[in-house]
Amino acid sequence: MKALLRLRRIAGTASAALEMAGRLAFLRALEEAPDPRSRATVLQQIARLLLRLHSIEVTELGSRPAGAALIVANHVNYLDPLVVMASHAALPVAKDEVRRWPVIGALCEKAGVQFVTRTRAASGAAALRTMARTLGGGASILNFPEGTTTTGRSVLPLKSGCFAAARIASVPVVPAAIAWESETLSWTGDASFVPHYLEVAGRERIRVRLRWGNPLEPSSSTTDRELAFRAHDFLARAIEEAGNAAAERA
């Protein structure tokens, strides 16, 4: 019941938010944005609005990227992109299934989000070229190279394919560690979206910790796998640190 009441409040707020979004012309702004950087800025505004809508409080640690960067983050649930994009304007890379999601898919297409079919090598190669062009044009890219979501207690090995885009565009790789306050907020395995979202929507407040790592500069002597390993090392240590801090507060 609490979740349903909370959902009704969100629905009411969402209606008001959509009305405001209409006035602010978010969708039109996405369509008319002249370049990826402009679209990323519009997405940042939308991400901030959605975080407020869901009463999500972000504690931010470390320094945000100073310019265009390939941001690589651990992946816990469907709200992760909002947490990162609200802090630093970026265009996310998404799995192809997202294209078919109601509302979100259309929004992503308007924003120029790069969709990837992981089982098709050609799709990955095309995504890499687009990512490199976007990074070279001054816009940041957000990717989740674990390739799936986890409970948030640890970090899976990172797939190194996306790191080549940073090398091609000569921009840094910046790791971003996301730690939600409760493992129940993770969306993993065969969990259904609607029940999980209702549980999330039923919370009065949600806390999440975002820790930025130092930029990792690609060089001729560093391979993509080495960059992935260094990014993973930071993410794993940051997640462990967040877990220890949470245990001390308990």
Average confidence score pLDDT of the chain: 86
Higher per-residue pLDDT: 53 or 245:
53
Indicate the pLDDT class of residue 247, thresholds 50, 70 and 90: confident
Whether the per-residue pLDDT at 17 is higher than 60: the answer is no
Tens digit of each residue's pLDDT (9 = 90 or more) over 152-207: 999 999 999 999 999 999 999 999 999 999 999 999 988 888 889 889 888 999 99
- Whole-number pLDDT of residue 126: 82
- Whole-number pLDDT of residue 222: 87
- Going by C-beta distance under 8 Å and a sequence separation of 6 or more, which residues neighbour residue 249? none
Tens digit of each residue's pLDDT (9 = 90 or more) over 39-90: 999 899 989 998 999 999 999 999 999 999 999 999 999 999 999 999 999 9
